[in-house]
Amino acid sequence: MNVSFNEVICGSVSWLSLAREKQVSSCWLWDTLPLHNHISFEVFEHRGATGVWLSPELEILEIERLAKLTNLPLGITAYGYIRTMTCEHCVLQAMGNCKQTCKTCPRRENPYALKDEFGRPSLVTTNALGRSNLWWNQPLDITPHIAELARIGVKRFLVDTRLLNEEESMQAINHVKEALEAVKQKVQLPSSFRNTTTGHLFERIG
């Protein structure tokens, strides 16, 4: 069966190459690719990228500078959990008695957290291939800053529902829609949800 797409999101260089090989018209780069300077933007634009979902590691002043130096349209996650690390092995193996049956492992059905040496928790998920992801314990919510981000050149805003249930997903989507409508009407944007974080938007790494 032949399947064609008008727009795809590419999470690696090989995905982008395959998309261009398949003549996909719009290839956006996912935030897993560490594009943190204008040279990397130029390289990927030359390789066929048509847009970039910005890394959550970027601070707002860095985003503004990049927006001035690239022709690629930019998008950013407005709400959702931030992935902080990908492990090429299953973290859940530390619980012992691993049966090597990742697809049907009952442990994957339950929520887990991993604490670092300072006692800070990270949420843990493991996929059917045994690859684990670590996530910030609090969801990102930068919807109150959508107007400023739009002003400096961000064109798209995304809700990442991967760790949200159906009710939480709908609340987050409506939250971002309300903020976008507020930008359109030039009125005050909604406040962030409780127990959320702005990530690195105003706090540069290092």
Handedness of CA 133, 136, 142, 148 (dihedral sign): negative
Residue 98 domain-assigned (yes or no): yes
pLDDT of residue 1: 45
Q: Which domain holds residue 102?
A: 83-136
Same domain, 171 and 69: yes
Q: Any idea what the CATH number is for the domain that residue 43 is in?
A: 3.20.20.70
What does the pLDDT look like over 90-148, one tens digit per residue? 999 988 888 889 889 999 988 899 888 888 899 999 999 999 999 999 999 999 999 99
Q: How far apart are CA 11 and CA 129, in angstroms?
A: 17
Instruction: Report the DSSP pairing between strands 83-87 and 74-80.
Output: unpaired
Q: Print burial letters for 10-31: b (CB count within 10 Å at least 16), e (below 16).
A: beeeebbeebeeeebeebbbbb
Same domain, 70 and 163: yes
In the block, tokens 């903020």 appear at 179
pLDDT of residue 4: 61
Residue 33 domain-assigned (yes or no): yes
Q: What are the structure tokens assigned to 25, written together?
A: 């018209």
Residue 198 domain-assigned (yes or no): no
Same domain, 14 and 76: yes
pLDDT of residue 206: 63
Same domain, 67 and 157: yes
Same domain, 12 and 66: yes
DSSP 18: H
Domains identified in the chain, total number: 2
Same domain, 23 and 119: no
Q: Which residues pair with 80 in a beta bridge?
A: 140
- For 49, the enclosing helix (H) or strand (E) is none
Q: What are the structure tokens assigned to 89, written together?
A: 């092995």
26 phi, psi to nearest 5 deg: -130, 120
The pLDDT tens digits along the chain (206 residues) read: 455 678 999 999 999 999 999 999 999 999 988 899 999 999 999 999 999 999 999 999 999 999 999 999 999 999 999 999 898 889 999 888 888 898 899 999 888 998 888 888 999 999 999 999 999 999 999 999 999 999 999 999 999 999 999 999 999 999 999 999 999 999 999 999 999 999 999 988 76
Residue 192 domain-assigned (yes or no): no
Residue 1 domain-assigned (yes or no): no
For residue 190, which of 145, 128, 133, 137 has the smallest C-alpha distance?
145
- Residues, the chain, total? 206
137 phi, psi to nearest 5 deg: -70, -25
Residue 65 domain-assigned (yes or no): yes
Residue 206 domain-assigned (yes or no): no
pTM score, whole prediction: 0.90
Same domain, 67 and 96: no
